[in-house]
Chain A
Amino acid sequence: MIERTFEATLYTPLFYSSSEGRAIRTQPTLSATALMHAIGYRYFDMEKRYAEFGEQATSPDYSHLADAPFFVSDMRPIAVETDERTFRSTDYRSERNFTTNDSDLAGQITGDKSVPSILEDSGAAYQTIRNYIGIAPGSTFEFTIWSEQNIPERPFFRMGIKQTGEFRARRCQQDTIVLNKYLLSEVYEVDDTTLTRLMEESESFRRGNDPRLQHFVGVDPQFVSEHLVPEVV
């Protein structure tokens, strides 16, 4: 098994919805599920579905990751700015932008007047704006990949909404391994005993407000390569 650690530099703004709602916020730690897809599509012939229908088009499915011949850590922030705010969009409830002569309505939209508490009941005229808060170019991350087959010395990959986040990575010295609990427990179905061991072998466990934002931080590299990787790859 080849174990390699990379430092990835981001060259464009990256937007990724770690949480959704009026503000689309991107957490500084980038999830391994996203990185698995980015690397998998490019370097491991992972199947890509260019069209999906019904339920599959609207809900995420990570089950195919379990068959991937490689495993990655989360992308740990080294030097990251998370205040890039470069675009806003209208919510799907109001696809049609509109201009209005109704000054009351205009007041509500610009925020001078309050809007009805239940937007869903308020008709199409209410425009809700989403703010995208992302990661600024120049930010750097560390990740480790375990695989039988090698990947290029300087891999290039894209992540995020509309694939706008462009990364180039280069080999570096391993510092800290951050593993994604969601990937391990829900996708790879790693049993509780191993997860408990993993927690003991980690410096800390970081909790988040979403199942996909739970991270094992500073995992002992030896434990990962000896016990965890053989189980998941």
Chain B
Amino acid sequence: MTLNYPDKGLVESHSIYRTRKPTVTLVVKRDITEPTLFRNSNHDRAETQEFGDKLHAQVNGEKFTSKERLTGLDLLRRLDDDGSLIDDEYTYNEPNELDTALNVGTLTYGLAGTGDQDFAIKSRVVEGYTYTTDEYDLMNKETRNAVYETGTMQDDEGDQSQALFDFVKVQPGNDLLHFVTLEAATGPMLLYVLHNILNTGKYGARETRTGRNVRNEILGVILGDHDTSLSTGELLLEYRKEDRGLTESLSDYIEEVRRADWDVYGHFEAGEEPPEWFEELQAVAARETDDADETLRAEFTELMDDARESFNLDDD
């Protein structure tokens, strides 16, 4: 199966220098299905931001990107049978040389060399800050015994920890609406990002022990010849109305800020019915079709060949 990509929003092939930067924005709804702890400078709760009279949890986009990047790397390792998609030696946090660090993940999400070779690949994906769409209730605490600095419940003398520790988690029923924008990306990069979003279900602190806590859903897709960026903060601050549901508010927002060159698809007022190419792309990305793995492998191989050529690494 070969995939069809739209004429708009994407670039035809990989290149390092670009003046034109068509973009695609994915409207992602992240449903919280289990209590989830997002934390930052406060170790027991998320940051907050007040919009209207309500306190919303504020989450750094990195908290999503980092997990999604790992999902992607896992896929590349699974698909790769000859080392052409991802180098065996590649470790995402200690990239030494460009040659071994080049893969679909680094091309899409960017990378800075930390070894002997200086290089920097810019990210084509922007996942900005996001906020819970409903109130973040700070009074809703979960209390645990606090651990010592060593990570255990006992101190040097073997005394049991007596202190208590509160967590304030984002509760199920609350959502995060996130706009994920790809700038000057190729079709396979969009496919890769879609795959990572649709196949990542665990975010936040302690995700390895709490299990699947977030379910991602693609509400819509916006294609443009230029910038199609949207902001969750702007949506919540300027367009969220109590008497209008979330998708209605989203629709109002897009309607208001959309530019003439945008194609908007999604099951809401401002959007057209999602076209066939997008349904196909989503099915492959979610690995729902029988030949998904072959299609993904073929698409990524094409991107890698393209990229090696533009990085002048295709001689070996």
Which residues on A are within 8 Å of B, measured CB to CB?
A: 9, 11-13, 41-43, 45-55, 57-58, 85-88, 92, 95, 99-101, 103, 106, 110, 131, 137-138, 152, 154, 156-158, 162-164, 166, 168
| CB–CB A47/B17 < 8 A | yes
Q: How far is the CB of A131 from chain B (nearest CB, A)?
A: 8
Indicate which residue in A47, A58, A106, A166 contacts B150 across the interface (CB closer than 8 Å). Answer: A106
B144 at the interface (CB under 8 A from A): no
B107 CB, min distance to chain A CBs, angstroms = 9
User: 20 more A-B contacts (CB under 8 A) besides A49-B17, A166-B129?
Assistant: A9-B234, A43-B226, A45-B19, A45-B20, A47-B19, A48-B21, A49-B16, A50-B16, A51-B119, A51-B121, A52-B119, A53-B118, A53-B119, A57-B113, A57-B118, A85-B41, A95-B114, A137-B237, A162-B62, A164-B129
Structural contact, A48 and B17, CB atoms closer than 8 A: yes
In the complex with contacts A50-B184, A92-B114, A138-B237, A152-B120 CB distance below 8 A: no
CA distance A103 to B118 in the complex (A): 37
Q: Taking CB as reference atom, which chain B residue is nearest A110? A: B149
Report if A11-B234 is in contact (Cβ < 8 Å); known contacts: A46-B19, A51-B311, A87-B41.
yes
B residues neighboring A (CB under 8 Å):
15-21, 40-41, 47, 49, 58, 60-62, 93-94, 98, 112-114, 118-122, 124, 126, 128-129, 149-151, 156, 184, 226-227, 229-234, 237, 257, 259, 311
Inter-chain contact B129/A12, CB cutoff 8 Å? yes
Q: List 13 A-B contacts (CB under 8 A).
A: A13-B58, A45-B20, A46-B19, A48-B122, A49-B16, A51-B120, A57-B112, A95-B114, A99-B151, A137-B237, A157-B227, A166-B229, A166-B231
Total A-B Cβ pairs within 8 A: 121
Given A49-B16, A163-B128, A103:B41 Cβ within 8 A? no
| A95-B93 contact given A42-B226, A51-B120, A156-B257, CB 8 Å threshold | yes
Given contacts A43-B226, A166-B128, contact A103 B156 (CB under 8 A): yes
Q: Which of B18, B234, B311 contacts A47 (CB 8 A)?
A: B18
Chain B residue with Cβ nearest A84 = B47
Q: Which of B19, B122, B227, B231 has the most CB of A within 10 A?
A: B231
Q: B118 touches which one: A55, A99, A163 (CB < 8 A)?
A: A55
Q: Which residues of B contact A158 (CB under 8 A)?
A: 126, 128, 229
A45 CA to B150 CA in the complex, in Å?
Answer: 53
B-side interface mostly = loop
Bound together, the chains give a CA A39 to CA B135 distance in angstroms of 34
Chain B residue nearest to A138 in the complex (CB): B237
A86:B16 contact, CB within 8 angstroms: no
A202 to B297, CA, bound (A): 61
Closest residue of chain A to B233 (Cβ to Cβ) is A11
